[in-house]
Amino acid sequence: GEEVAQTPKHLVRGEGQKAKLYCAPIKGHSYVFWYQQVLKNEFKFLISFQNENVFDETGMPKERFSAKCLPNSPCSLEIQATKLEDSAVYFCASSQIPGQGGEQFFGPGTRLTVL
């Protein structure tokens, strides 16, 4: 598609439950990025993919968070055993050429609320 699609728009989970978020990048874009936006607007990089391969995962919490980008499927971000501090808006972005001049196109985000 011509836009980055994210589902669901809203997700509510009780503490300890699993949460799974999905992202469909723009067709033809090889790179996918996940970000977490918490209060006060700050964006935290989580992980990036080049096609189905992890490109950079320096921002991913080692425990509880995992992500995949499989061929012919939306990318996914999964949080096992959610905690209150995981409440945030999670954004996915895709890019054709991530280097010079290669802007990222953002999806509308998934708002995760952990109760």
Q: Which residues bind another protein (CB under 8 A)?
A: 4, 31, 33, 40-43, 45, 48, 55-56, 58-59, 91, 93, 95, 98-109
Separation of alpha carbons 50 and 53, rounded Å: 5
CB of 2 to another protein, least distance (A): 14
CB of 108 to another protein, least distance (A): 5
C-beta separation of 108 from 93 below 8 A: no
- Whose Cβ is closer to another protein: residue 18's or residue 44's? 44
- Whose Cβ is closer to another protein: residue 41's or residue 72's? 41
C-beta separation of 80 from 15 below 8 A: no
- Whose Cβ is closer to another protein: residue 14's or residue 99's? 99
CB of 64 to another protein, least distance (A): 21
Question: How many C-beta atoms lie closer than 10 Å to residue 109's C-beta?
Answer: 19
Separation of alpha carbons 31 and 94, rounded Å: 5
